[in-house]
Amino acid sequence: MPPVEVKEALYRQITNGVLGYCEADEALKRVITQWYKRRYFSQIKSEELIFGPGMNTVLSLCVEAFTKEQDEVIVMPPVYAPFILSALHQNRKVREVPFIVETGKYEVDFTGFEEACKVAKMFFLCSPHNPI
């Protein structure tokens, strides 16, 4: 059985009727910045953290914030489809720089990536890479 405190917190949340995503408060931001400092020995500010209701929404918000219509967005296929769709749905051009597959291993095409960076306004980095 879960601790009484957990059951009470769940009961309060269920009875208030709001079961969607919650707002990120300062306590959550503080915990994340402390964890980041312990884990990576680097400091981030709580105001640098932005939360969203899901990955697809955040991808779309990034495209909207950092690019204009017809700008190029770089992806490295094979890649999680919403990276591509978030750009296309907002009238951005998708510049694919596919991985090079040699001896069963995927490697970045650095020459192709460097060339794409000369024009593109944004690059989606998926790490670890999904679906490979």
The conformation of residue 115, written as its DSSP 8-state character, comes to H
pLDDT at 131: 67
Whether residue 92 has pLDDT greater than 80: yes
Q: What is the rounded radius of gyration, in angstroms, for the C-alpha atoms of the chain?
A: 20
Cα–Cα distance between 90 and 56 in angstroms, integer? 13
pLDDT per position as a tens digit, 19-65: 776 677 899 999 999 999 999 999 999 998 888 888 899 999 999 99
Instruction: Tally the C-alpha atoms within 13 A of residue 31's C-alpha that lie toward its C-beta.
Output: 5
Q: Residues 108-118: what's their mean pLDDT? A: 98
Question: Which of 11-20, 38-47, 121-130 has the lowest average pLDDT?
Answer: 11-20
